[in-house]
Amino acid sequence: MNRPVVIVDPLSSGTELAPAFKARGIPAIAVTLKPLDWVGFGAKIRSSDFIKIIPDQPNLVEVLRKYDPLVILPGTEEGVPLAEALTLALTPQFANDPEKSQNRLHKALMQKALQNAGVPALKTLNTSSENEVETWIKTNGLVDSPLIIKPPVSAGSDKVFHIPARGDWKKAFNQVLSEPSKVTGNANETVVVQEQAAGTEFAVGTVSANGKHYLAHLIKYNKTSANDRKTVYDYVEFVPYSAKTHGELFEYTQKALDALGMRWGAAHNEIMLTKDGPRLIETGARMCGGPVVGFAREASGSSQADKLVEIFAEGDVSTKEYKFKKTVVPVFLKSPSQGIISNVETFADVSKLPTFLNEHIWFKNGDLVLQTVDYLTSIGIVALAGNRQQVLDDYAKIRNMESRLVIQET
């Protein structure tokens, strides 16, 4: 039997890793973490994808050593710390810089690493003190500037607040401190306060092999607001890469990855293209979450999962140049309020749209849904693909269907 790949917390987009390796004759072992109660794409492990499912345990290194793993990869953001620790112990030739492991997790230390490397970064503070925030705002000339308040370690835009210039940041600050993370389940001991970057936001999906970074997908974000949070995903668009339009963006991404010590594996890089140039919002040392693998394959013929298989089966990415085939637009379905959903059938005809690709709706009639304020509270995704103008026409039809959604408020 070929040496297996070990996938830590194979949920969300991580569910796509084992089948991709299996297609190349490489088996997979799952390492499971303490389960968190959430809904969405890839919320359950697909047991049939694995030759062994092993829960996290004190002697995990010795348990895994006997399988002689080929590589250890995280399936989710929560899986990153354990995957990195196991890599150092079992496959150190594929380790990212261990000195910068916290810089790849912590949103403030992330910006610090960029600053230390001379890469343009956002002014950022990490603290639990309101007084320190007030002093920092004045010292950095941000009194008349909009701010971001967010947890130091999280994902899915959980508790990310956009504060207008001279707005009340203290309510959001204390909410981050008082509420545990939806993603990790842990309490936040500090809060990240940051200058707000304005411009066009992209998700630059990369894979790295021996310190060389390759573009796997390029996604342009379109977000709207809810409850003073500009974190509601409206739709995202897989776009072609042009050196003229995106060269500076990708060059900056590579410098940021170097600063963060990324040498091997996938990275999900959210970057704002501002009037002053690109600025890193945050990086996750793992694949982009959700059903992105399938969307990327439709848009470009490949994905982060496929390129990871190439790296660890062949030693490098086979096709180094990014190729674009067609426009793909995942549309995020939104609930206007918290309540009981009672007519999911309003979306019954999405499959009849000319550019329909697939749908992922994770609620049914009678389920309680939250008001959509971020990725984690979306109620589903309908993906469209094909001619861009027809895709946008079908997007408008989905929003029309959504306008008839009935939520019985609780």
Residue 360, Cβ density class (10 Å: 0-12 exposed, 13-18 middle, ≥19 buried): middle
Report pLDDT digits (tens) over 291-328.
999 999 999 999 999 999 999 999 999 988 899 999 99
Domain map of the chain by residue range?
A: 5-95, 123-195, 200-409
pLDDT score recorded for residue 299: 98
Q: Does residue 3 register a pLDDT over 70?
A: yes
**Nearest CA-CA partner of 311 in 104, 52, 17, 1:** 17
Which is higher by pLDDT, 225 or 163? 163
Q: Look up residue 103 and give its amino acid.
A: N
- CA separation (Å) from 60 to 57, 64, 66, 69, 86? 5, 6, 11, 13, 8
Please state the rounded mean pLDDT for residues 194-207: 96
Architecture of the 5-95 domain: 3-Layer(aba) Sandwich (3.40)
pLDDT score recorded for residue 156: 67
pLDDT score recorded for residue 20: 98
- For the entire predicted model, the pTM comes to 0.94
Q: Does residue 241 register a pLDDT over 70?
A: yes
- Report the phi/psi class of residue 246: left, alpha or beta, with left for phi > 0 and alpha for psi in -120 to 50: alpha
Question: Would you tell me how many other CB atoms lie within 10 Å of the CB of residue 18?
Answer: 27
* Band of residue 42 on the pLDDT scale cut at 50, 70, 90: confident
Report pLDDT digits (tens) over 342-388.
999 999 999 999 999 999 999 999 999 999 988 888 999 999 999 99
d(CA 302, CA 296): 6
Q: Does residue 49 register a pLDDT over 70?
A: yes
Question: Would you tell me how many other CB atoms lie within 10 Å of the CB of residue 129?
Answer: 13
Please state the rounded mean pLDDT for residues 253-262: 98
Domains 5-95 and 123-195 share a fold: no
d(CA 183, CA 316): 32
Domain 123-195 coded CATH 3.30.70.360: no
* Band of residue 1 on the pLDDT scale cut at 50, 70, 90: low
User: What share of the chain has pLDDT > 70, as a percent?
Assistant: 99
Q: Does residue 116 register a pLDDT over 70?
A: yes
Report pLDDT digits (tens) over 342-352.
999 999 999 99
pLDDT score recorded for residue 48: 96
| CATH of the structural domain 200-409, one choice from 3.40.1410.10, 3.30.70.20, 3.40.50.720, 3.30.470.20 | 3.30.470.20
Q: Where are the alpha helices (DSSP H) in 216-353?
A: 243-259, 292-300, 304-314
pLDDT score recorded for residue 131: 95
